[in-house]
């Protein structure tokens, strides 16, 4: 670490180079990269690893639209294309399957204006995704690979096939990530961050942890911590957005592309399971329970993909996504707290980019200069604060 803080372990119960707060997909990746770089790392999780938004059902790894290319889209493209090798390495290390498949995505064209835009997007993907070299394409086709997936009446103008999209099983992925760090990172569950000053973090269980750097990757609960450390309302840093999803039992070909239509995803996972979601709710009374809004999404999904029309629901789930004020991931050292780094706010795309963002976080923690899109930097978010 550059300029390590000097401290006396006698004043703390535990000490480490890096303390990660939060055991979601982002925190686990940060801990993994830290351990791989030889940092003595502790991860604290207020509940159980995977009990936040990352413990859900969907696991869509979806690229941004290929036109209007910018640093954010390039970052995501590189993340999505580098993920399969990293997943394979974790699977080999742990013997656990992450449920990853580059399944591609089908998007019905149901409006003339969408069909026109899709033509431009095809050309943009060819250039920005380097289709001739990478093979990743955004094509317009008349018929889906399997009749009824999606229903013909949902796609009067054909459909777009995006071959870059993939899916991963969120819970299997988290279990494998956890297993991959268990022997190198001290994971402490049921222990929440409460406060920090001068490199010492105090936890809900009364522990004092002396840390060279602390990374706040507590999902949407990072925003109140920022308010506590920097002043201001939690909402001026970001907000939770509720999402509801469901898991159905259906024996379908697990190579089927995922279907995306008007905000609704239908994703075939391994083992006869199909995930459907999700809602996007800015206002909610009951953050972790499902309601009629999920039934509406389920009805839509069943009309879209009649193959799941009679499939029984085996789980209904709701969670809160972290959406930072600048709408992009939020990464950076805190003003006046250079030993504290914020890492949150991936909103709907975190699963596809957490590994690459985590590498940037560790670059930052070790005094490097990460190649981050400007819009991800904490300073850029501060400009959007009201």
Ligand X SMILES: Cc1cc2nc3c(=O)[nH]c(=O)nc-3n(C[C@H](O)[C@H](O)[C@H](O)COP(=O)(O)OP(=O)(O)OC[C@H]3O[C@@H](n4cnc5c(N)ncnc54)[C@H](O)[C@@H]3O)c2cc1C
Where does this chain bind ligand X (CB under 6 A)?
Answer: 21-27, 44-47, 51-54, 56, 58-60, 192-193, 217-219, 221, 243-245, 277-278, 319, 321-322, 344, 346-352
Q: How far is the CB of 250 from ligand X (least distance, A)?
A: 18
Q: Residue 304 contacts by C-beta under 8 Å, 6 or more apart in sequence?
A: 108, 150, 151, 154, 259, 261, 264, 266
Closest to ligand X by CB, 172 or 350: 350
Closest to ligand X by CB, 102 or 126: 102
Contact 336, 314 (CB under 8 A): no
Contact 373, 69 (CB under 8 A): no
Residue in the block written with tokens 């317009």: 140
Q: How far is the CB of 316 from ligand X (least distance, A)?
A: 11
Give the up-direction half-sphere exposure of residue 52: CA atoms within 13 A in the CB hemisphere.
Answer: 30
Q: How far is the CB of 51 from ligand X (least distance, A)?
A: 5
Q: How far is the CB of 217 from ligand X (least distance, A)?
A: 6
Tokens describing residue 163:
């071959």
Task: Name the residue whose CB lies closest to ligand X.
Answer: 24
Whole-number Å distance between alpha carbons of 88 and 91 = 5
Tell me which residue of 330, 316, 154, 166 sits closest to 246, measured CA to CA.
316
Q: How far is the CB of 290 from ligand X (least distance, A)?
A: 10
Q: How far is the CB of 150 from ligand X (least distance, A)?
A: 18
Closest to ligand X by CB, 319 or 332: 319
Closest to ligand X by CB, 131 or 209: 209
Closest to ligand X by CB, 178 or 302: 178
Closest to ligand X by CB, 21 or 185: 21
Q: How far is the CB of 355 from ligand X (least distance, A)?
A: 12
Closest to ligand X by CB, 131 or 290: 290
> Checking DSSP bridges between strand 105-108 and strand 258-261, what pairing results, if any?
parallel
Q: How far is the CB of 156 from ligand X (least distance, A)?
A: 27
Exposure class string for 74-90: b at 16+ Cβ within 10 A, else e: ebbbebbbebbebbeeb
Q: How far is the CB of 115 from ligand X (least distance, A)?
A: 26
Closest to ligand X by CB, 26 or 138: 26
User: What's the Cα-to-Cα distance from 359 to each of 27, 30, 72, 343, 370, rounded to whole Å?
Assistant: 11, 7, 16, 11, 8
Closest to ligand X by CB, 302 or 355: 355
Q: How far is the CB of 34 from ligand X (least distance, A)?
A: 15
Closest to ligand X by CB, 1 or 192: 192
Tell me which residue of 86, 85, 66, 87 sits closest to 76, measured CA to CA.
66
């Amino acid at each position: 670490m550059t300029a390590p803080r000097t401290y006396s372990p006698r004043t703390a119960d535990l000490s480490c180079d890096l303390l990660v707060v939060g055991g979601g997909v982002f925190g686990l990746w940060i801990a993994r990269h830290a351990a791989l770089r030889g940092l003595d790392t502790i991860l604290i999780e207020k509940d159980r690893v995977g009990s936040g938004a990352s413990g859900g059902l969907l696991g869509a790894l979806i690229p941004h639209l290929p036109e209007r290319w910018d640093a954010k889209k390039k970052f995501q493209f590189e993340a999505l294309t580098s993920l399969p090798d990293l997943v394979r390495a974790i699977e080999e290390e742990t013997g656990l399957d992450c449920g990853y498949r580059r399944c591609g995505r089908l998007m019905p064209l149901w409006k003339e204006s969408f069909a026109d835009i899709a033509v431009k997007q095809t050309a943009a993907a060819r250039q920005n995704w380097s289709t001739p070299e990478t093979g990743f394409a955004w094509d317009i086709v008349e018929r889906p690979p399997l009749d009824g997936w999606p229903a013909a009446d949902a796609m009067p103008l054909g459909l777009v096939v995006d071959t870059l999209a993939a899916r991963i099983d969120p819970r299997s992925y988290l279990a494998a990530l956890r297993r991959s760090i268990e022997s190198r990172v001290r994971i402490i569950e049921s222990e929440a961050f409460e406060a920090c000053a001068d490199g010492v973090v105090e936890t809900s269980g009364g522990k004092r942890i002396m840390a060279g750097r602390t990374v706040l990757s507590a999902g949407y609960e990072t925003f109140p911590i920022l308010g506590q450390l920097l002043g201001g309302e939690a909402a001026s840093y970001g907000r939770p957005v509720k999402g509801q999803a469901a898991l159905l039992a259906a024996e379908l070909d697990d190579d089927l592309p995922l279907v995306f239509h008007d905000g609704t995803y239908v994703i075939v996972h391994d083992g006869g399971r199909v995930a459907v979601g999700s809602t996007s709710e800015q206002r909610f009374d009951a953050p972790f329970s499902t309601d009629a809004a999920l039934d509406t999404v389920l009805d839509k999904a069943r009309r879209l993909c009649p193959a799941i029309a009679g499939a029984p629901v085996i789980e209904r789930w709701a969670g809160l996504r972290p959406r930072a004020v600048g709408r992009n991931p939020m990464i950076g050292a805190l003003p006046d707290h250079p030993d504290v780094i914020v890492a949150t706010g991936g909103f709907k795309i975190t699963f596809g980019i957490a590994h690459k963002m985590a590498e940037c976080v560790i670059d930052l923690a070790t005094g490097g200069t990460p190649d981050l899109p400007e819009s991800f930097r904490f300073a850029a978010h501060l400009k959007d604060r009201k």
